[in-house]
Amino acid sequence: MEQNTPKSKSDGFAITNWAEEDRPREKLMAHGAAALSDSELLGILIGSGTPKESAVALMQRILGDCDNNLNTLGKRSIHELMQYKGIGEAKAITIVAACELGKRRQATAPAERPDMGSAEAVYGFMHPKMQDLDTEEAWVLLMNQRFRLIKAVRLSHGGLSETAVDVRVILREALLANATVLTLVHNHPSGTCRPSGDDDRLTFKLKKACETMRIYMVDHVIVTDGKYFSYAEEGKI
């Protein structure tokens, strides 16, 4: 007669035995941190619970003793947290550190994103990155609808052409960053900032692709050490 191998006491409580969509790490990856409860986020931080209680259940119990208030939890000392079975010194320190980071974030003003709405601003931002380069690089500046910079992405190193810079990569980066505005930037190490035929072809190709995706291509700026060329300022875009 076939016998089932007995399970350990902890099998039913291990997060690894939960349905994948219910595991906090997988849930965060699939839906973002905002989709998780306080106890799930804290469960990720402490990593494990006890043989009878998962990390999430343990944090639910601790939060329950704090009236489910993170501010109250933040007032608990390391010693107080260590009174709970399953919370050792390392986990208690992790919880205290997380609460302190939350306080510091709340007290910190949001970082002001630079305004990239003009060719002069783009040049001022990119010139320090490009002034000493001896080969061409292409970058895309991804912005929100107020022309505030979300991120700057280097696209290529060593040349600029329709093949060196993939328009699909630019659009993918824009979509991933939730950008609605972008500016293409590249340098001319020769010091001549007039656009080449390749520059023109890439500009028009990217502009057409952006229009299809309802992304506003505001400019293509060519940077040299001391001056720049702007397709927007020259009426070429």
Could you report the per-residue pLDDT of 189-201, keeping only the tens digit for each? 999 999 999 999 9
Domain boundary among 85, 107, 129: 107
Q: Per the structure, how many domains does the chain have? A: 2
CA distance 81 to 142: 44
Q: Same structural domain for residues 126 and 102?
A: no
Report the run of H or E that residue 224 belongs to, with start and end. none
189 domain-assigned: yes
CATH number for 213: 3.40.140.10
Could you tell me the residue range of the domain that residue 71 belongs to?
A: 11-107
Q: Same structural domain for residues 130 and 70?
A: no
Q: Which residue has the higher pLDDT, 29 or 8?
A: 29
**How far lies 237's CA from each of 49, 58, 66, 193, 221, in Å?**
59, 59, 59, 16, 11
pLDDT band at 6 (very low <50, low <70, confident <90, very high): very low
Q: Same structural domain for residues 66 and 152?
A: no
Q: What is the mean pLDDT of residues 65-89?
A: 96
**pLDDT attached to residue 7:** 42
225 domain-assigned: yes
Q: Same structural domain for residues 97 and 131?
A: no
**Sheet arrangement for strand 137-143:** 149-157, 137-143, 181-187, 216-223, 228-230
What DSSP line would sit under 187-209, residue for residue? E-TTS--S--HHHHHHHHHHHHH
Q: Kindly give the pairing relationship between strand 228-230 and strand 216-223.
A: antiparallel
pLDDT 10s digits, 146-162? 999 999 999 988 755 54
Is the distance from CB of 180 to CB of 144 less than 8 angstroms?
Answer: yes
Q: Same structural domain for residues 101 and 150?
A: no
Q: Same structural domain for residues 58 and 136?
A: no
Q: Same structural domain for residues 183 and 126?
A: yes
**pLDDT attached to residue 22:** 59
pTM: 0.61
Domain boundary among 107, 134, 155: 107
Q: Same structural domain for residues 157 and 216?
A: yes
CA distance 221 to 210: 16
Q: Same structural domain for residues 82 and 176?
A: no
Q: Same structural domain for residues 125 and 186?
A: yes
Closest CA to 86 of 66, 63, 62, 69: 62
Lowest average pLDDT, out of 35-39, 111-115, 180-184, 214-218, goes to 111-115
Q: Same structural domain for residues 136 and 192?
A: yes
Closest CA to 141 of 165, 173, 98: 173
**How far lies 118's CA from each of 130, 180, 188, 233, in Å?**
18, 16, 19, 9
202 domain-assigned: yes
**How far lies 5's CA from each of 2, 8, 115, in Å?**
10, 9, 64
182 domain-assigned: yes
156 domain-assigned: yes
pLDDT band at 11 (very low <50, low <70, confident <90, very high): very low
